[in-house]
Amino acid sequence: MSDIIQLLPDAVANQIAAGEVVQRPSSVVKELLENAIDAGAQNIKLIIKDAGKSLIHVIDDGVGMTENDARMSFERHATSKIKQANDLFTIRTMGFRGEAVASIAAVAQVELKTRQEGDELGLCLKVEASELVDQQPVNCSKGTSFAVKNLFYNVPARRNFLKSNGVELRHIIDEFQRIALAYPEISFSFHNNSNELFKLHKGKLSHRIISIFGKNYKSQLVPCNEEIPHMKLSGYVGKPEFAKKTRGEQFFFVNNRFIKSNYLNHAVMQAYEGLLPTDTFPFYILFIEIDPKHIDINVHPTKTEIKFDDEKTIYSILKATIRQSLGTFSVTPSLDFDSNINFQTNMSTIDFSTLNTSEPELSDDEKKIASHKSYSNFKNIESKSSNSSNWEKMFESSDDDLPAEDFVSIPDTQKIPTPKLDLPTAPTVSTEQKSIKFESAANSLNAFDKNLYANDSDIHQPFQLHNTYIITQVKSGMMLIDQQAAHERILYEKYSSNLVLKSGSSQQFLFPQTIQLNASDLALVQELNEEINALGFVFEIFGNNAVVVNGIPADVAGSDARELFEGLIEQFKLNQSSLSISKQDNMARSMAKRAAVKAQQKMTEAEMKAIIDQLFACANPNYTPKGEPTYYILDMEHLKSFFKK
């Protein structure tokens, strides 16, 4: 029998390796930006076309490369960062494996131009599918220009798996923001299809945050600083009342490298315990400087996962430092921020829309917040970071020091109270409380569903159990309805119809509301513009970081526009990451999930009857869009068995 094991050709091996390193256009952006930083660049320009599918071009003013180094950079495992295995435990550069450039060149057409300072001419190399096709001298600026064209042109199967331009652009924006935040001392610019998305000047971290996320972030930044042997923690967290319904503005950096860690994120959330409205996420950008010998960054191809020698100690320090910072901030005079520094517990962001107008019963957490206005429970935590002089160091320069082009002028509409108007287009069911809007569907029950009821009087007085379940009598016994699940099914079918017919009705605002979004979420809103309008939202993009909402769906007219809009975007992203469904179906599910009546929400008798009527008017009343049951029937025989009859 002949031998069958053989070495793979280099081109094939590179394509296989590229599957780990180059997963999508954003992977290429990350690798090239990190290479530019390692080259000592002070100014980096990113240009993309068609969300990186046609072109990814990174231009830097770093040290450049010699002819031999330029050619060697396309070889696998060729690197200037390490020479032996022990070097991995002292590495501080972004790249070190020597895989990125070779992997990119295996699945794209690459043009490299580079020149070192003092050289009269630079070098231009063209590589396609790992093969050098052209080399010649060229007149170019000092530094390196790396153009990646037609990504996955020679691997059609990989190209077919790429998502829409909108999705891929959001991934690129995420990678760009992470690197730009990690290196505020470097200038960055980002152009997409000839449109300038970012122009970031070098400066302090606080300036970089404001440049990326918007000027309104200036009033919410709380500094966090702590230093112990072998570790330093620095950065900013957001005030609790600025927490959003959307994720995506939470950043951890270890030795300036962005990482993902559910464990450390849990420490942050524990520090905010009792301070955040339900289902909201705080803003934070935190940097951990630690001796490289105490961490292992070589555990994942993308280097976004990391292992610590002593994870529990870092958890404790992180949690205590954030608590200390929040506690100190609540009693420290603001030297540079315009807004009031005292925390205002924003109970309006919690949905009490269906509670009685009398004094509501507060939960234990809410009582705790209400009785500790100054958050004095943090005062006893001692830390080096409690020195109030940190405030004077934080924003030493005035707004005039910030480049004007880093900001978008946004009207301060949030200071204008939005009156609650009972307009004709949004009638309420009850005049004594803000109530949920349901359409009457009593006459729409199909024949099978009507047989559930013994007679009309059986459903005249449904009962709400623990403000979560609706109990009503049916012909065969008793029906127990999950009010949230049932309402989700009702709204899902309604919004699905609205998206098809583009017939969603709106409740217009007298005063528009401005909502701040990060660049990634704004790109998603632009992609979903037609679907969001079809649901009944009336909005327009305002500048680079804001959406002005002029109206929301009429059937949720009593809802907070910011909470509803942000919740819709966040739910859409969650569904997108876990479900393979169409854009329209995702939008209907997301809106139904966010707009549905929640557990622990009191309902009137009329509202409970409307839930029952509308549920059994649905095409599929038995399950939520996710397949969870909406109701359960206990027949008389089953009930008798409980009492051994």
- Spatial contact of 485 and 615, defined as CB atoms under 8 Å apart: no
What's the pLDDT score for residue 84? Answer: 56
Q: What CATH class does 442-635 carry?
A: alpha beta
- Per-residue pLDDT reduced to its tens digit, 253-298: 999 999 999 999 999 999 999 888 888 899 999 999 998 888 877 6
Mean pLDDT check: name the lowest of 156-170, 198-212, 571-585, 626-640: 571-585
| pLDDT tens per residue, range 80-90 | 655 555 655 55
Q: What is the dihedral of CA 95, 98, 101, 107, to 10 degrees?
A: -120
Model confidence at 145, pLDDT cuts 50, 70, 90, reads very high
* Helix, strand, coil % over all residues of the chain, rounded to 5: 40, 20, 40
Q: How far apart, in whole angstroms, are the C-alpha atoms of residue 638 and residue 589?
A: 34
Cα separation, 468 vs 474, whole angstroms: 19
Angle, nearest 10°, between helix axes 205-213 and 165-182?
Answer: 160
Strand 538-542 with 195-200, pairing: unpaired
Of the segments 153-157, 207-211, 440-444, which one has the largest average pLDDT value? Answer: 207-211
pLDDT band at 305 (very low <50, low <70, confident <90, very high): confident
Strongest mean pLDDT among 136-150, 152-166, 336-350, 409-423: 136-150
Asked if residue 352 has pLDDT above 60, the reply is no
Residue 556: closest CA among 498, 515, 609: 498
The CATH number of domain 213-407, selected from 1.10.3330.10, 3.50.50.60, 3.30.230.10, 3.90.950.10: 3.30.230.10
* pLDDT over 50 at 602, yes or no: yes
* Confidence band for 396, pLDDT divided at 50, 70 and 90: very low
Check whether 96 has a pLDDT greater than 90.
Answer: no
* 7 burial level (CB within 10 Å; 0-12, 13-18, 19+): exposed
- pLDDT category at 426 given cuts 50, 70, 90 is very low
361-367, Cβ contacts within 8 angstroms, sequence gap of 24 or more: 365/274
Q: Determine contact, residues 524/530, Cβ cutoff 8 Å.
A: no
Decide: helix, strand or coil at residue 226.
Answer: strand
Tell me what pLDDT residue 250 has. 94
Contact 585, 536 (CB under 8 A): no
Say if residue 554 is exposed, middle or buried (CB neighbours under 10 Å; 0-12, 13-18, 19+): middle
Mean pLDDT of 558-587: 86
Mean pLDDT lowest for which of 105-109, 234-238, 423-427?
423-427
What digits encode the pLDDT tens for the residues 168-185? 999 999 999 999 999 999
Beta carbons within 10 angstroms of residue 210's beta carbon: 21
Under DSSP, the state recorded for 629 is B
Sort strands 231-238 and 221-228 into parallel, antiparallel or unpaired.
Answer: antiparallel
User: Which range is least confidently modeled, 387-396, 514-523, 558-567, 604-613?
Assistant: 387-396
CA distance 456 to 443: 12
Q: CA-CA distance, 240 to 221, in Å (whole number)?
A: 10
H/E run at residue 136: strand 131-138
For residue 277, the model assigns a pLDDT of 83
Burial class (CB in 10 A: 0-12, 13-18, 19+), 4: exposed
Instruction: Say whether pLDDT at 359 is over 60.
Output: no
CATH fold of the domain at 10-200: Heat Shock Protein 90 (3.30.565)
Give dist(CA 158, CA 19) in Å, integer: 9
- What are the distances in angstroms from CA 495 to CA 198, 510, 590, 615, 622? 35, 25, 10, 14, 18
Calculate the alpha carbon distances from 34 to 44, 89, 258, 309 in Å: 10, 19, 11, 25
State how far the alpha carbon of 134 is from the alpha carbons of 109, 125, 170, 244, 408, in Å: 12, 6, 34, 51, 44
pLDDT surpasses 70 at 186: yes
Question: Which residues on neighbouring strands pair with residue 143, listed in sequence order?
Answer: 115
Strand partners, 463: 471
Smallest Cα–Cα separation from 29: which of 141, 191, 185, 158?
191
State the average pLDDT over residues 103-108.
91
The per-residue pLDDT for 605 is 92
Mean pLDDT across the stretch 419-440?
Answer: 38
Q: Give the residue with greater pLDDT, 381 vs 38.
A: 38
Higher-pLDDT residue of 544, 607: 607
pLDDT at position 226 is 94
Closest by Cα among 20, 29, 4 to 94? 29
pLDDT at 45: 97
Q: Are 31 and 24 in contact (CB under 8 A)?
A: no
pLDDT for 367 equals 47
Give the pLDDT band of residue 21 (cuts 50, 70, 90): confident
3-state secondary structure of 476: coil
473-477 CB contacts, 8 Å cutoff, 24+ apart = 474/633, 475/451, 476/452, 476/633, 476/635, 476/636, 477/633, 477/634, 477/635, 477/636, 477/638, 477/639
Domain ranges of the chain: 10-200, 213-407, 442-635
Separation CA 203–CA 320 (nearest Å): 29
Average pLDDT of the chain? 79
The one-character DSSP state at 350 is: S
Q: What pLDDT, on a 0 to 100 scale, did the predictor assign at position 355?
A: 38
Angle (CA) 55 61 62, round 5° = 105
Top-confidence residue, 111 or 411:
111
Answer whether residue 432 shows pLDDT above 80. Answer: no
In angstroms, how far is CA 31 from the centroid of its own chain? 22
- Find which of 60-64, 155-159, 370-374, 424-428 is predicted with most confidence, using mean pLDDT: 60-64
Q: What is the pLDDT of residue 37?
A: 94
- Reply yes or no on whether the pLDDT at 434 is more than 60: no
| Residue 516 φ/ψ, nearest 5 degrees | -85, 135
pLDDT band at 444 (very low <50, low <70, confident <90, very high): very low
| 448 pLDDT more than 50 | no
Which pLDDT score, from 0 to 100, does residue 269 have? 94
Q: Give the pLDDT confidence score for residue 431 in this predicted structure.
A: 35
Which residues sit opposite 250 in a β-bridge? 284
Return phi, psi of residue 258, to 5°. -65, 135
Residue 334 pLDDT level (bands cut at 50, 70, 90): very low
pLDDT of residue 489: 96
Write the burial class of residue 218 (CB in 10 Å: 0-12 exposed, 13-18 middle, 19+ buried): buried
For residues 277 and 282, give the distance between their C-alpha atoms in angstroms, rounded to a whole number: 10
Residue 530 clears pLDDT 60, i.e. is over it: yes
Instruction: State what percent of residues in the chain have pLDDT above 70.
Output: 74
Specify the amino acid at residue 288: I
**Residue 86, pLDDT score:** 60
Across 301-310, 448-457, 523-532, the highest mean pLDDT is recorded for: 523-532
pLDDT in the model for residue 209: 94
DSSP 486-550: HHHHHHHHHHHHHHHHT---EEEEEEEEEEE--HHHHHHHHHTHHHHHHHT-EEEEETTTEEEEE
Evaluate if residue 365 carries a pLDDT over 80: no
